[in-house]
Amino acid sequence: MRMRSKPLHPWPLRVMHWINALAMLLMIGSGWKIYNDEVLFGWLHFPDWITIGGEAQGALQWHFFAMWVLMLNGLAYLAYGFATGRFRRKFLPIRVTEFVADVRDALALRLSHADITHYNAVQKLLYTGIILVIVVQVLSGWAIWKPVQLSELVTLFGGFQGGRLVHFLGMAAIVGFLVVHVALALIVPKTIGAMITGGPKVDPPIDPDGQAPVIANSPTAP
Amino acid sequence: MPIRSPSPSSFRPKTGVDQSVLENNRELLADIGRRNILRGSLSLGALAMLTGCDVTSDSAVQSVLRRVSSFNDRFQEFMFRPNHLAPTYSEAEVVKPPRFNAYYDVNDVAPVDGATWKLELAGRIADKAPWTVQRFMQLPEQEWIIRHICVEGWDYIGQWSGVNLRTFLETVGADLKAKYVAFKCADDYSGSIDMATALHAQTILATKYARQPITDPYGFPLRLRTATKLGFKNPKWITAIEVTNTYPGGYWEDRGFNWFAGL
């Protein structure tokens, strides 16, 4: 029996994606304001107009509000990704040879975006990588929020200032990812459409070994 | 010279536009208008947040943020480990002098005269007789070398000694089941902490730093030092202590900083 084909990005995933986008922007903007009060690098102050919260207390209020949204949404996303097998289907396997070939193609501007249902090796690595970075970012955030109650955790990050530095570098990695992610989405606008409307219908996975889903009605469909 | 017809196009109706379409679809048109306004306001809101405009002061947003901050108070109370000690350090790591912090500049510190200083007691306390410096110095002393962490992000290791707050509260017969311990200071600063933190082993009424009496900028003659809260929860130049079940707030807390502010 064949199951009904589903959109590339089912609705729970799209909802979680945009909640995450909003929460992440709030975390970054308010975090920059909090950072400004005691900078890690003398040469780096974030201009007030790109920060969120107005004053320090406002920024802290936003940060400690958006963290719940980000964490609860993130937990839901991880649960969804593992439970539905989406992570396994979309992100695995990541092969070194494919990665090297894709990087070479990307640099030569030869990487195809015709099929947005399929992630190339660079995308797989970036998406898995950013999920791990956000997990570490949440942990370092907990460590510097609760350096006494969670003193074991802050030790793991090399103490309070070590935790602050990890939290800053995590932010830098997320912002870096965001720049690339948004730029590529703008270059291939149908990916933005797909994250809003769901995108093309794909057949549900039939093969439990993690065979990638294929576009419905395509000639290669089984 | 012939005047050109105002309607040179043969496609333009001669009798004006048919208004009945508008009339028949009034509801639909109103709906489209509403949707656009909604969409516009959403993106405006997002834009305002991105540009750091002062959305925070908007009262509805402010009320949500304050409510989440209260929730965070309760959450921190829940995750507080009363028997868990903050890390302690060696004397070699102690920073001398400590780092100054207040809501004004160090040059504006008004020293407190130890000879006339009195500590007033109020609220759910059996013996409310005020305390002098001499009487205070007779209480048992303990020392903690602990990290001071400021909400701004800086920190230093300090060596504080004085009387354990629990010991003091027991001495004066305070109601240890009350919710809050509140402090008033000589510089009009005020603050309050939860009873669980007040009874924590590393919460002291400090009189000495690095074995010497605390100097003026750091709270002479008496200040609070707790290892489990941010710096601003440690009032200096304390002149009154109250044990109460009514939420007392505090200088920074009334200005939007999180009340529990636990570490």
Q: Note the Cα A17 to chain centre separation in Å.
A: 8
Contact A57 B255 (CB under 8 A): yes
Give the one of B65, B86, B155 whose C-beta lies nearest to A151's C-beta.
B86
pLDDT at B2: 45
Mean pLDDT (whole number) for B81-87: 96
Q: What 3-state class would DSSP assign to B228?
A: coil
β pairing state of B155-164 and B190-194: unpaired
Which of A97, A144, A145 lies closest to A125 in space, CA to CA? A97
β pairing state of B155-164 and B142-149: antiparallel
Residue B43 above 80 pLDDT? no
Residue B255 above 90 pLDDT? yes
pLDDT, tens digit (0-9, with 9 covering 90-100), for B143-164: 999 999 999 999 999 999 999 9
pLDDT, tens digit (0-9, with 9 covering 90-100), for B102-112: 999 999 999 99
Higher per-residue confidence, B7 vs B190: B190
Mean pLDDT (whole number) for A66-86: 96
pLDDT at A127: 93
pLDDT, tens digit (0-9, with 9 covering 90-100), for B193-217: 999 999 999 999 999 999 999 999 9
Contact A65 B150 (CB under 8 A): no
Residue A202 above 50 pLDDT? yes
CB-CB neighbours of A161 under 10 Å: 16
Which of B218, B227, B263 lies closest to B144 in space, CA to CA? B227
* CB-based contacts of A125, cutoff 8 Å, min separation 6: A94, A99
What are the tokens at B247? Answer: 């939420």
pLDDT at A117: 79
Percentage of residues of chain B with pLDDT beyond 70: 79
* pLDDT, chain A, mean: 88
Is B152 part of the contact surface with chain A (CB cutoff 8 Å)? Answer: yes
pLDDT at B3: 47
Burial class, A42, CB count within 10 angstroms (exposed 0-12 / middle 13-18 / buried 19+): exposed
Query: What gap in Å lies between CA A19 and CA A92, rounded to an integer?
Result: 25
What are the tokens at B122? Answer: 């109020």
Ramachandran sector of residue A39 (left: φ over 0; alpha: ψ -120 to 50; beta: rest): beta
Residue A30 above 70 pLDDT? yes
Residue type, B245: N
Give the residue extent of every domain in chain B: 20-53, 74-255
Mean pLDDT (whole number) for A104-108: 80
Band of pLDDT at residue A119, cut at 50, 70 and 90 = confident
Higher per-residue confidence, B1 vs B180: B180
Is B227 part of the contact surface with chain A (CB cutoff 8 Å)? Answer: yes
pLDDT, tens digit (0-9, with 9 covering 90-100), for B231-251: 999 999 999 999 999 999 999
CB-CB neighbours of A119 under 10 Å: 19
Run of H or E including A178: helix A159-187
- In this structure, which CATH number among 3.40.50.300, 3.90.380.10, 3.90.420.10, 3.10.450.40 belongs to the domain B74-255? 3.90.420.10
Is A152 part of the contact surface with chain B (CB cutoff 8 Å)? Answer: no
Q: What 3-state class would DSSP assign to A127?
A: helix
Percentage of residues of chain B with pLDDT beyond 90: 74
pLDDT, tens digit (0-9, with 9 covering 90-100), for A185-194: 998 888 898 8
Give the one of B147, B154, B258 whose C-beta lies nearest to A64's C-beta.
B258
Under DSSP, the state recorded for A187 is: H
pLDDT at B49: 53
Mutate to test the interface with B, among A61, A63, A72, A157 (most CBs of B within 10 A): A61
| CB contact at 8 A, B247 and B191 | no
pLDDT, tens digit (0-9, with 9 covering 90-100), for B12-32: 555 666 667 667 777 666 665
Distance from CA of A9 to the nearest CA of B (A): 23
* pLDDT, chain B, mean: 87
Give the one of B49, B228, B258 whose C-beta lies nearest to A26's C-beta.
B49
Mean pLDDT (whole number) for A117-124: 84
Contact A149 B262 (CB under 8 A): yes
- Structural domains in chain A, CATH included, are 6-199 (1.20.950.20)
pLDDT at A109: 73
Mean pLDDT (whole number) for B82-108: 94
DSSP string covering B21-88: HHHHTHHHHHHHHHHHHHHHHHHHHHHHHHTT-SGGGSHHHHHHHHHHHHHHHHHHHHH--TTPPPP-
| Chain A hits for B250, Cβ within 8 Å | none
